[in-house]
Amino acid sequence: MRSVTNSVVTLVIFLNLSVWSFAQDVSRAAAPATKTDSANSGQPSAPTPSAGAFDQVVDRVVQREQFFVAQMRHLHPLVETYIQNLKNDREHNVVPISDEYFLGRLDTSNGADDRSFTGQADRGKRFVNRLSSSHSMKFLPLGFATMVMLDEDFQRQYYDFNFVRQEFLGEVRCLVIDVQPKEQASNERFVGRIWVEDQDYNIVRFNGSYSPHKENSYLRFDSWRLNLRPGVWLPAYIYGEESDLKVKSGQTPRFKAQTRLWDYDPQRLTNNQEFTQIQVESLQTVRDQSESAQDDSPVEAERAWERQAEENAVERLQKIGLLAPPGEVDKVMETVVNNLIVTNNLTHIPDVRCRVLLTLPLESFTIGRTIVVSRGLLDVLPDEPSLAMVLAHELGHIVLGHRLDTKLAFNDSVFFPDDKTFERLDFTRNAADEEAADRKAVDLLAKSPYKDKLGNAGLFLKALQARAPELKHLIRPHLGNSLAGGKTMRMSALLNSAPQLETPRLDQIAALPLGGRVKLDPLSNRVELLKTKPVALLSVREKIPFEVTPFFPYLTRLHTVSPDKVAVVPSAQ
């Protein structure tokens, strides 16, 4: 929480703090270079293992994968899939022409199923699409979700295994093995390559597709798991791509897709754990009475009631895994907000908080005095002035006193199933409030440290305006107002001062690809900014604003704390 002062010292600190520092960081980090054993140790590459040793390895891999399948039946992570359909433009670049979006909670306890947050009927098993009577593509989100499992009935008798090499994925050394179904095996078996970490023999990556089926089609995919607890690897990322899938109409659909999984352990995010923690406080620090010595005044009571509604909504969104716990990204945004508050002398504004919505669609909104920005929007913003533009609009709502519906102050108002969240919670504003917030934001920015760099923010809006007709699901908000809805564009006043959008220029970065800014921990739901080095672009094609890209996470292994490092509570004397 921040305190706002008029002191010159505070002002200088905020004005000189570069918290977003994206001026030269114009691209995702390059995929990490893979290392072989020879590169790592200076020794020749490891020879092919003997048949007996390799058989033992395969037995361990199969055993660990069967344990993984059993483990997943007790876990119900959120699953988000975003798909972009592609075509070649006049310059022969591949560009998105439409998109699809799905969000739900995966449940494999009785076979694959999922509860959708976004209203789609999710039916299907391992196939990811089906040809309708008109020969068009119909995506089945459950097909993407089930790619977390290589095979629900993974047994050695169904597959042939061939050792390829050893390879590092990040800091984790892996055995690379090609896997193919035996001729007598049934359909819908995995065919491709697996990466197995060399300590417990868990599959940490698998890349390929599923064997053909006469009714269903399959895309190729690359599925990654992360070490979220010592010895436990869980699915986090799936990238899918298809460019040569044949349909009856003779067309060749092309698309790219990203699937993310998180919220594996939502109980960690509740306050129930407080009842199991033992904490001894010094008698001098214990408070046995409230700080307030009298009743609140009517104005104070009204503010407290609004704050209760705000806290109920924020707590509910965090509990179900849609809002990240407080963390470093919030502090980055709050510093930008403070820059706006201090330079505009808004000392009367109560504490303003910032939080990250964990979903992909581009949106921002306010819940009382809490500003919420989606992970997807943070990903594509190219620089700090663009972030300031987004936050200034929401700060405008707060400065103008636009209220939150205080029905949320009644606790029963947030008692509803998780998959009804987008139906029951609504933080949209009417058109008049949105226009007023835009005008106020322009005033705030004109007196801010960002006043001379707003051309970059306007350029981002131009890029968004250009892509909005094709990427309808990317700009369709869940809980707030759209950044670009119909003929309207938020903060459109900045368009006039922005330079011309010139796609062929490599040095003009109007927007970034998806996934290039924020890293999400699938277990704790915490987010942090990616710490990557700038990458020099080699061609216009690498600019890929608002586009889906493959995943190449840097894998690390968590180790169990050794007994000599375990904290010991001293006995009472």
356 or 75, which is more confident: 356
Q: What pLDDT digit, counting tens, does each position of 193-204 carry?
A: 999 999 999 999
Minimum mean pLDDT range among 8-17, 121-130, 283-292: 8-17
Closest CA to 101 of 345, 361, 393, 294: 361
- Cβ atoms of residues 210 and 191 within 8 Å: yes
Please enumerate in sequence order all residues whose Cβ is within 8 A of that of 200, keeping only pairs 6 or more positions apart, or say none.
64, 231
pLDDT for 470 beyond 50: yes
Arithmetic mean of pLDDT, 167-186: 92
Number of H helices, E strands in the chain: 11, 19
Q: What is the mean pLDDT of residues 236-252?
A: 69
The pLDDT tens digits for 41-85 are: 443 455 667 778 899 999 999 999 999 988 888 888 999 999 999
Tokens of 86: 């592609």
Which of 305-319, 357-371, 530-544 reaches the highest mean pLDDT? 357-371
> What's the rounded mean pLDDT across residues 471-481?
94
Residue 440 neighbours by CB under 8 Å, 6+ apart: 395, 396, 399, 400
Q: Mean pLDDT over all residues of the chain?
A: 79
How sure is the predictor about 10, in pLDDT bands with cuts at 50, 70 and 90? very low
Tokens linked to 562: 């050794």
Q: How confident is the model at residue 314 (pLDDT cuts 50, 70, 90)?
A: very high
Please state, as a whole number, how many other Cβ atoms lie within 10 Å of the Cβ of residue 551. Answer: 17
Read off the pLDDT band of 105 (50, 70, 90).
Answer: confident
Tell me how far apart the alpha carbons of residues 452 and 39 are, in angstroms, rounded to a whole number: 48
Amino acid at 152: E
Q: Is the pLDDT of residue 29 over 80?
A: no
Per-residue pLDDT at 167:
96
Percentage with pLDDT > 90 across the chain: 49
Per-residue pLDDT at 18: 38
Structure token pair of residue 477: 């908000």
pLDDT at 185: 73
For 432, the 3-state DSSP assignment is helix
Between 328-343 and 384-399, two packed helices, what is the crossing angle to 10 degrees?
A: 70
**Whole-prediction pTM:** 0.82
pLDDT score, position 63: 95
Q: How far apart are CA 315 and CA 353, in angstroms?
A: 14
- Supply 350's token pair: 């109560």
433-466 tens-digit pLDDT: 999 999 999 999 999 999 999 999 999 999 999 9
Length of the chain: 573
Residue 276 is predicted with a pLDDT of 38
Q: Is the pLDDT of residue 374 over 90?
A: yes
**175-184 residue pLDDT tens:** 999 999 998 8
> In this predicted model, which residue has the larger pLDDT, 282 or 380?
380
Q: What angle do CA 353, 355, 360 make, to 5 degrees?
A: 155
* Position 14 pLDDT exceeds 50: no
Q: Could you tell me which residue, 22 or 399, shows the higher pLDDT?
A: 399
Token readout for 397 is 């709502």
417 beta partners: none
Look at residue 134 in the predicted model and tell me its pLDDT: 28
Q: What is the pLDDT of residue 503?
A: 85
Q: Give the confidence band of 301 by pLDDT, cuts at 50, 70, 90.
A: confident
User: Residue ranges of the domains in the chain?
Assistant: 37-265, 302-543
User: Is residue 150 over pLDDT 80?
Assistant: yes
* Residue 363: predicted pLDDT: 96
Query: Residues 256, 548: contact at Cβ < 8 Å?
Result: yes
Amino acid at 246: K
Residue 9 has pLDDT above 50, yes or no: no
| CA dist list (Å): 494 to 114, 455, 498, 525, 537 | 42, 7, 6, 34, 27
Give exposure, 186-196, as e/b (b: 16+ Cβ within 10 Å).
eebbbebbbbb
386-415 pLDDT, tens digit each: 999 999 999 999 999 998 988 888 888 888
Q: Please calculate the CA angle 308-340-464 and round it to the nearest 5 degrees.
A: 90
Give the pair of three-digit tokens for residue 565: 């490092």
* Higher per-residue pLDDT: 356 or 505: 356
Asked if residue 249 has pLDDT above 80, the reply is no
Q: How high is the pLDDT of residue 217?
A: 59
Label the pairing between strands 518-520 and 527-529: antiparallel
| DSSP conformation letters of 36-53 | -HHHHHSSPPPPPPPHHH
**% of the chain surpassing 70 pLDDT:** 74
The residue ranking higher by pLDDT, 160 or 27, is 160
CA-based torsion, 58, 59, 63, 66: positive or negative: positive
Is residue 392 within 8 Å of residue 373, measured between CB atoms?
no
